[in-house]
Each structure stands twice: as structure tokens, then as C-alpha cells.
Structure 1
Amino acid sequence: MDLLKCFEKNWQENIVLPEGTVVLAACSGGIDSLAMLDMLDMLQEVLGIRVAAAHFEHGIRGKDSLEDAEFVREFCRDRGIEFYGESADVPGEAARAGESLETAARRLRYAFLRRLAGELSKKYAMGENWEKQGRVVIATAHHRDDQAETVLMHLIRGTGLRGLGGIRCRQGDLVRPLLFAGKRELAEYCRQRRLEPRHDATNDQADCFRNKLRLELLPLLAREYNPALGDALCQLADLAQADEDYLEQQAEKLWQELAVKAGKEFGGGQAGKPLGGFGFNLSKILSQPLAMQRRLVQQAAFEVSGCRLSYVQVQAVLQLAQKGRTGTRVQLSFGLVAEISYNFLYIIKKTIPFSENHGTMNIVGEFEKIFLRVPGTICLPDGSRIIAELAGDRQQLEALLRSAADHAGNACNGGCMAVYGDWDKCNQPLAVRHRKNGDRVSIGSGHKKLKDFLIDSRIPRQQRDALWLVADGGGDGSILWLPGIRRFAEAAADEGTRKFFVLRMINEG
């Protein structure tokens, strides 16, 4: 297999950029990215592109990390390739933001690449041929093995057709020209080209979800169930991408036909009223196929908030629409509310957390809760976040609590709160919700109605329904925590605790 010819063929069929486009290749110095940079460099004239390289040094592996950066710099200097580098303290940023190393590294890396691409676009656009030379895209070295991992990872976490499509060859300002090739083929290419890529030892440690999946789960499934599992997952991605594209085109046509802008009938931005959103005539949206109903609801949420709703929340909106009772509503994530008003379904944005009555919140039914993945982070409608983490021993627990304390002092203006408990005592999953009728809390050796507890704690009546709480059993079990007020006795840690959960609420407002 001539990988260079395959690279050129794949580029011409799936990427195709205007002549003179600058391709900013993200290069770590490893097998994949070094092979990609080498191929792009060799094919510049054939593809009609210019190549530059970018390296982001994460500050995770000390001396080895610095040597990686120098290696890429020297490789580019020897080839006459423009090189751009940047360093960051990813471990420090991960602790500050309450993120995993993997998440923080990815966020900072892509922020650097996009910022650099913007700067280069301005730089090259100043020339005479700015229409050709001002375009900059970012190339990453994702390959077929990465595609298989991504699809399986999405399946495990829960996904729709969009997630089954995995990684695309071209998406916005990103291109992935190696999705046709596997890791072994890229390693063989480097050997034949006498390239000497760097090795990142952290990729050999099963200490994060993707690494565990790549090092443990995929080999197990391939060995025990399907030796061609990687190919099967990549084929699934290819089929899902084509189907997703078609359904999105149909949904866009319906959006133009059915969506109406929510206007003055919702208060025009007065205090506590929606700022705006989109609506659909109930009979028209409900007459569409279910696939289109879901996509229209998702697009409305995305247009208003820039975020996508969970499957459970989309189902809640559609159930609300089917009942069609004016004045009923469902609170959603990201400050969104779905509301029925005179034969219209509206999805709108609120300026304050949804809670206008002084009674309990059971009017919105079982969907007035947001599931909390552990470890994971959820964004609440009022702009706050709850971060859930796990610690395997007291040393890890103390480190997490110190990080939470530092975060509170440095970034949260006193709005950051943290509690911990015994994870094995929790009835999973956890969920975040408002109070409802019948809620009771465990205080010491006894129990008390949550309503009585709030009265005794002198929480103003008008504030009680806006309070968030964390409960186990999918939100219907024991109340573990009222953020900012009280950690209750359920799932308390003791000397026999083997695994700790740590919950933090961050309110940066």
C-alpha cells in the first residue's frame, strides 16, 4: 500500500481546499502527526497548499515534553516549514477548572490552534492574493484507529446518529486527512521514510477513559467477539455520517418552514422573563416524523443556547407538546424552558432559574432533574456548575479538596462549595433537581421533612424552590446535598470507606 498516494487520493475525494490554503498541521512529534506533517510537506505543490506546523507543549511530562517541542521545531527547521509553538501548565489549569488532564489539555490545545489560525489568516490576508492566501485550516492526525475508538466511546456513553458518525474528514476549520489509515500503517510509513517519531509514555497508561478503551476494551472485544471490530466501527461511522447529513438537510428545510421567533408575547426581556427563543405550531410540528420533531427541538435549543439537549430532555419537550396544555412548561439545561402557549410550543431562554411559584416543583413531572455523571460536570440553568469526582483513597481525597479550596479562593469569589462521601453507599445514578412534595433529609440519627429543615434554617420562602439538591437513585432516592446549605447524613464517609465521591458547585456569577 503506497500510503502517500492513498493520502493524495483521500484528500482529493474528501477534503479539497482552495488553492493557496495554509494547512496548519498540529504536530506532537509522535508517529501519527509526524507522518501527516511529512506527507503534507511532500504534497504541497500537488495539493496546491502551503504547510505550517504547530506544537502545543502541555507541561505534563517535564523534560520529555520539552524535548518533544524541540524535536518538532528542529524537524520543521530542517524542512523549511514554518513552526509555531506554545507552552501551558495543563495540570495547574485542570486543577483550577475542576477538569481532567485530558479535558484541560484538549481545550487549551484547540484554543491555541484556533487562535494561531486566526492570527495567520490576518497575516496572510495582507498580501496581494488575499482571497487565496488568507484561508487557514487546522489539520489533526486522527486515523482509523481513533475513529473506531471514538465511535465505541460514544456508544458506551450514549449517543445518537451524530455521535455514531464519529470523526469527519472535514468539519469547519478542521481537516483530518489520515482517517483512511491505521496506526500500524503509519508506523510502517515512518520506518520506510526513516523518520524517528517521539513516544508519549502517557498513552501507555490506562488512566483515562480513552486510554482504557484503546488498551483494554477494544483488544478484548476484537479477541473475543470480532477480529474486524475496528473496520466494522469505521464502516458504521461512514454510514451514519451520510444518513445524518441527509436528515439534517431535511430538518433545515422544515426549520425554515415551521420555526417562528418568540417575541414580545414573552415579556421582551423584563426581569425574570425569557429573553427570546423559537416556537412551533403544535399541530404542524406533531404532524412531522418523530426524527424531525426531535431535530427541530434540538435546533431550537442550539440556536438559543449554543448547546444540545439530552435525549431525556428532548423526550420531555415532546411529551409536553403532545399534551398541549397552555401554561405548562418544562425546565431544561442551559437556562432553557419549553412552554406551551395557545397552540404553540416555545423553547426560550430565561434570565433567572425557572421558579415562579412558591409551592413545590412537581408541576414539571419526572423530567425536572438532570442526571450527574460521576466523574463529570453538568451546567445548571442558572449558570452554575456541579463537578463530580472520585477518589480511591484519602490521599486523593485530600488533594481534590485542596484543589476545590484553591479554586474557591482564586476563581469563584466565594461561590465554590464542596462536599464528599462514601461512593459505595450511594444508590446510583445521582441527579440534580429542585425539591418536591415528600422530600425528607437525614440529620444525625433522625429524619426531617425538607420543608421543615428549610424553615428551621430560615431559608426565605421565595428562595426555596430555586434551590438545587443532589439525590441518589436517579434523583428519587436519598438527598445527599443542598449546595451551599447542608451536607446530609446519607452516604457519609467513615473509616471503612474505600472510594469517595467529591461534589463541587461553582457559581462564577
Structure 2
Amino acid sequence: MMDLLKCFEKNWRENIAPPEGVTVLAACSGGIDSLAMLDMLDRLQEVLGVRLAAAHFEHGIRGKDSLEDAEFVREFCGARGIEFYGASADVPGEAARAGESLETAARRLRYAFLRRIAGALSEKYGMGENQEKLGRVVIATAHHRDDQAETVLMHLIRGTGLRGLGGIRCRQGDLVRPLLFASKRELAEYCRQRRLEPRHDATNDEADCLRNRLRLELLPLLAREYNPALGDVLCQLADIAQADEDYLRQAAEKLWQELAAEAEQGFCFNLGRFLQLSLAMQRRLVQQAAFEVSGCQLAYVQVQAVLQLAKKGRTGTELQLPFGLLAEISYNFLYIIKKTIPFSGNHGTMDIVGEFEKISLRVPGTTCLPDGSRITAELAEDRQQLEVLLKSAAGHADSADTAAGNAGNGGCMAVYGDWDKCNQPLAVRHRKNGDRVSIGNGHKKLKDFLIDSRIPRQQRDELWLVADGGGDGNILWLPGVRRFAEAAADEGTRKFFVLRMINKG
């Protein structure tokens, strides 16, 4: 077993390297990883020239055990004279209110708390002659080598680029992760040797979310059947990807300064020079322009469509993009600008969302859509669970007979149905030619249905729909318009799905 404390110090100096006098706010749950990190930081305070504080966020999820975790960390810090900050929140209630998964809501609230405390510490210590130096605060989290492997694999499964393959970085803004060199097993052994008695969160042993399933099921399977060193391989991939991403990002930034010209409502590139660039640089410049204009990143298919538009180079052609963006070719220039007029539907315009994109629906989970709205999906094993889910769906109704709509109910923003009748997976998309919907005992063209429903023409291409069969099967729901008859629940339904649309803003 390597000397973990020496490795920690070496890694801190080489990869973290904050200025001396900085305050380190260590996020500590009381578990193996964060307790080991807090202990090492405490032992190395003087050597590293840092000031140490600790923070614990109690999520209100595990009842008595959760409260005991908070008290454990408080007492641990008190015994060592470590400055301690704690807070509690009703994460389940906040998750239901915001339409998020427990994991997403917990992470959002936890990091908001940590940054709030970091701000208070910055004000507390950033006084006097050395205000700028002493007021610096970094937040240390206990992500370790196993977390890195899980993150890279999770990004790979969900779909990612080079930045996603880089996984977790040792330092990212005000966040530092000083344990990425160590494995979970090594941290557990460190705690044993130091006679620390970390707390155990039993929810980490439940395969009820993607990360837990990866850690408990998929990674052990892949290591056992294909490569025992898979964890090391994934971490090596992250290291390579981070270095390559840094190099390519710097190259793209240089090209951006040379080629990107400001235009009304956005940016433009000389088309001839743009097409001479490597594919990697073309993609990065398109993403940079989209981000500068909208603050959002485009999906792979959307970037590819912009490149197709540029390659054809036909003046007057346009491409509708999410986030209110428009790509346009005009007299040897590629423009990426903020759209100021509604989509006209003329023959020179392509609808990128309608033509190219289908978004798989996470069930259970939350699916974020390009326009900023999101759809939450949950499953219920019986009518009683269904009632609970529907009541939490932002007050849409009080019972399964009226809440959200099983079929029909114009204007519905939440629906339920028979999960076993769905041809899985479900997907979200915009309408396309040939779409038909099930109404009563028959079918109808979606176009005719929208006309009969008096949906304005300029709004029809903006509507989202949920369909089974990966988006190519039956249309189940037009959020805000109607729940169709396909996969309707009945007395024989054994498993229900509940979908809820949450509009942007």
C-alpha cells in the first residue's frame, strides 16, 4: 500500500496548486472518501500553507441516519478544531417541485450551499492588506479514481465528445478534486489504518440510478468478463482526453480570434476560409458561435447539419436551430445568429429539430430539451403509487381519474398510461411528414388534427411530441395539447408511466 498522505501532498502540489493562504472548504458527507480527504487536509494544513474549513449538507432523504451523519461530521470537526458549516434541506420536496430526479436536485442544492459558504469565507478572510490573496477559497470534493472511471463510462454510454471523455478534472474553477489519484479501496484502507470510523450511506448500495447501476453492475461485469484493468484504462483515457481537449481548445480559440467576425445578432465566418479548416476546428467554431450567442451547446446532429449547410454554400439557405438560433449562408459567409423572425417554412429553410433530432426519453428521469423545457418521467407499480405521483405533478389534479389525462384532456401538461403497452424506448421530437395519431376508434393525420385544433401554423413545427418505438412508433402525447389513445391505461394495467412537461423559465 502506497503512502497515501505523501501521494496526496504530491498530487496537490502538481495538479491543484492553489496559492498559499487559500482557504480550502472540504465537502464532507462522513463517508470513507470525504472523511479520508478531510483527515489528510487537516494533517497537511501547515505543510500546504492552507486554511481548512469543512461543510456538510444534510439532504433530508435518509431520516435518522442522515441526521446522524451530520452530527458525526460536526463532532469530528469539533474534536480537531476544524471550522464547520452545516445545512439541511428537503431534497425530495424540492425535486418534486422542480421536476428533477433526487440526484439532480441534491447536487444542485448541495453545490449552491457550498458556494454560499465559500462566498462567506471569502468575505470573512479577505480583509486588510492581503485581501485578494487571503480571500481566495476553493471547494474540495472527494471524487476518487473509481468515480473517474464511472464518469467516463457514463458519458460514453449517454453520448459525448472529447471533453466528456475527459471526465472529472483535478481543478475546475473554484472546485478541486485532490483524490483522483486514489482508489476507493485505498481510501478505505487509509481510514482503517488511521482508525477513522466513516459513516455508510446505504442508498449507494441500491441500483436505482444510472451511476449506481454502473458501479454495482456494469463495471464489475466488464472487468470480470473483458478487462480486469478496465478502471485504469478508463482513467488513462480521461487523462489523454483532457490533454488533447486542452490543446484543441487553445487552437480553436486562436482560430476564433482570426476568423470570427461580429455580425448583427451573432457571428459570421468567411465561408472559403472556414471550409479549409479541419473538421475538428469547424465543429469547434460552430459550437463556440452557438455558445457565444445563446449560452448553449448544440447537439452533434445540429453541428453536422450546419456543416452540411456550409458545404453546399448556397446563398439564401437557412437552418433553424434550437435556442432561437439561425444558421444562414449569405454571399460567401456563414452566419450563426439569433433568430428574430418566426420560421417561414419556405423551401430554402431546413428545420434541424424536425428533420434531424430525436431525443431519447429517460424513464425514470428528466430529459432536457433544446428549447430549455424538460420532461420528467416516472413509473408506478400500482394505482396507489400512481395517485402519489400525480398529486406531486405540480398540482395538475387530485386523482388518477382526472389528473393529467389518460386520453384526451386538451391542454394537458402531464399524462399517464400503460407502460407495458408502449413499444420502448420512448423519444421526444417535433412532427414530421406522415405522422398520424390515434383518436377514438380511428386514426388521423397529425397535420389535420393540428388544423382542426386551431393550432397556429407558425407554432406547429415548434410543438414537442412523445412517441414510442424510439420516436418512430405511436404518438402518445402532444404536451399542452392532447394525450392520444395509444397505450391508454385501463383496469388491467399493472405498471403506469407518468410524464410531465415543464416549460422553460
Decide whether the 8 Å contact of 2:354 with 2:461 is kept in 1.
no
**Equivalent in the alignment of 1:437:** 433
Kindly tell me: are residues 477 and 327 of structure 1, through their superposed partners in 2, closer, same or farther at Cα, counting changes over 3 Å? farther
Decide whether the 8 Å contact of 1:138 with 1:173 is kept in 2.
yes
CA–CA distance in structure 1, aligned partners of residues 194 and 143 of structure 2: 20
Decide whether the 8 Å contact of 1:415 with 1:508 is kept in 2.
no
Match of 2:295 among 287, 306, 312: 306
**Equivalent in the alignment of 1:218:** 219
Moved over 6 A (4+): 358-362
Q: How far 1:115 moved relative to its partner?
A: 1.8
Q: How far 1:19 moved relative to its partner?
A: 0.9
**Equivalent in the alignment of 2:74:** 73
Kindly tell me: are residues 447 and 307 of structure 1, through their superposed partners in 2, closer, same or farther at Cα, counting changes over 3 Å? same
CA–CA distance in structure 1, aligned partners of residues 460 and 348 of structure 2: 9
Decide whether the 8 Å contact of 1:420 with 1:493 is kept in 2.
yes
**Equivalent in the alignment of 1:349:** 338
Kindly tell me: are residues 119 and 291 of structure 1, through their superposed partners in 2, closer, same or farther at Cα, counting changes over 3 Å? same
CA–CA distance in structure 2, aligned partners of residues 108 and 476 of structure 1: 37
The sequence identity of aligned pairs, in percent, is 84
Q: How far 1:151 moved relative to its partner?
A: 0.9
Kindly tell me: are residues 144 and 407 of structure 1, through their superposed partners in 2, closer, same or farther at Cα, counting changes over 3 Å? farther
CA–CA distance in structure 1, aligned partners of residues 504 and 37 of structure 2: 41
**Equivalent in the alignment of 1:192:** 193
Q: How far 1:3 moved relative to its partner?
A: 0.7
Worse-superposed segment, 365-374 or 21-30:
365-374
Superimposed CA distance per residue, residues 333-367 of structure 1 (whole angstroms, 9 cap, x where no aligned partner) = 33333232332222223468x53349999655863
CA–CA distance in structure 2, aligned partners of residues 407 and 189 of structure 1: 51
**Equivalent in the alignment of 1:459:** 455
Q: How far 1:495 moved relative to its partner?
A: 4.1
User: Aligned ranges for residues 235-246 of structure 1 at < 5 Å?
Assistant: 235-246=236-247
Q: How far 1:377 moved relative to its partner?
A: 3.5
CA–CA distance in structure 1, aligned partners of residues 299 and 457 of structure 2: 31
**Equivalent in the alignment of 1:267:** none
Decide whether the 8 Å contact of 1:454 with 1:464 is kept in 2.
yes
Decide whether the 8 Å contact of 2:354 with 2:430 is kept in 1.
no
Decide whether the 8 Å contact of 2:412 with 2:481 is kept in 1.
no
Aligned partner of 2:387: which letter?
A: E
**Equivalent in the alignment of 1:3:** 4
Decide whether the 8 Å contact of 1:331 with 1:368 is kept in 2.
no
Task: Give aligned pairs, total.
Answer: 492
User: Aligned ranges for residues 204-353 of structure 1 at < 5 Å?
Assistant: 204-263=205-264, 276-350=265-339
Superimposed CA distance per residue, residues 298-322 of structure 1 (whole angstroms, 9 cap, x where no aligned partner) = 1122222322222122112211221
> In structure 2, the residue corresponding to 1:178 is in which secondary structure?
coil
Aligned partner of 1:193: which letter?
A: R
Q: How far 1:415 moved relative to its partner?
A: 8.9
Match of 1:448 among 444, 449, 462: 444
> In structure 2, the residue corresponding to 1:231 is in which secondary structure?
helix
**Equivalent in the alignment of 2:501:** 505
Q: How far 1:207 moved relative to its partner?
A: 1.1
- Unpaired segments ≥5 residues, structure 1: 264-275
Q: How far 1:429 moved relative to its partner?
A: 4.6
Decide whether the 8 Å contact of 2:430 with 2:462 is kept in 1.
yes
Matched, 1:418 2:414: yes
Q: How far 1:257 moved relative to its partner?
A: 1.0
Decide whether the 8 Å contact of 2:16 with 2:171 is kept in 1.
yes
Kindly tell me: are residues 342 and 379 of structure 1, through their superposed partners in 2, closer, same or farther at Cα, counting changes over 3 Å? farther
Matched, 1:373 2:361: yes
**Equivalent in the alignment of 1:114:** 115
Aligned partner of 1:309: which letter?
A: L
Tell me the TM-score normalized by structure 1: 0.90
Decide whether the 8 Å contact of 1:408 with 1:417 is kept in 2.
no
Tell me the TM-score normalized by structure 2: 0.91
Aligned-CA RMSD value: 2.5
CA–CA distance in structure 1, aligned partners of residues 153 and 123 of structure 2: 39
Q: How far 1:261 moved relative to its partner?
A: 1.8
Kindly tell me: are residues 71 and 473 of structure 1, through their superposed partners in 2, closer, same or farther at Cα, counting changes over 3 Å? same
CA–CA distance in structure 1, aligned partners of residues 351 and 84 of structure 2: 59
Aligned partner of 1:374: which letter?
A: R
> In structure 1, the residue corresponding to 2:168 is in which secondary structure?
coil
Aligned partner of 1:95: which letter?
A: A
> In structure 2, the residue corresponding to 1:387 is in which secondary structure?
strand
CA–CA distance in structure 2, aligned partners of residues 361 and 388 of structure 1: 33
Decide whether the 8 Å contact of 1:151 with 1:237 is kept in 2.
yes
CA–CA distance in structure 2, aligned partners of residues 163 and 393 of structure 1: 38
Matched, 1:484 2:480: yes
**Equivalent in the alignment of 1:29:** 30
CA–CA distance in structure 1, aligned partners of residues 56 and 396 of structure 2: 29
CA–CA distance in structure 2, aligned partners of residues 133 and 64 of structure 1: 37
Kindly tell me: are residues 379 and 219 of structure 1, through their superposed partners in 2, closer, same or farther at Cα, counting changes over 3 Å? closer
Aligned partner of 1:25: which letter?
A: A
> In structure 1, the residue corresponding to 2:413 is in which secondary structure?
strand
Q: How far 1:18 moved relative to its partner?
A: 0.5
**Equivalent in the alignment of 2:168:** 167
Q: How far 1:507 moved relative to its partner?
A: 2.4
CA–CA distance in structure 1, aligned partners of residues 269 and 471 of structure 2: 31
> In structure 1, the residue corresponding to 2:392 is in which secondary structure?
helix
Aligned partner of 1:277: which letter?
A: G
**Equivalent in the alignment of 2:59:** 58
Aligned partner of 2:70: which letter?
A: A
Aligned partner of 2:138: which letter?
A: V
> In structure 1, the residue corresponding to 2:122 is in which secondary structure?
helix
Decide whether the 8 Å contact of 1:324 with 1:343 is kept in 2.
yes
Q: How far 1:94 moved relative to its partner?
A: 0.7
Q: How far 1:389 moved relative to its partner?
A: 3.3
Aligned partner of 1:438: which letter?
A: G
CA–CA distance in structure 2, aligned partners of residues 328 and 498 of structure 1: 51
Decide whether the 8 Å contact of 1:251 with 1:292 is kept in 2.
yes
Superimposed CA distance per residue, residues 130-163 of structure 1 (whole angstroms, 9 cap, x where no aligned partner) = 1220100000000111111111111111111111
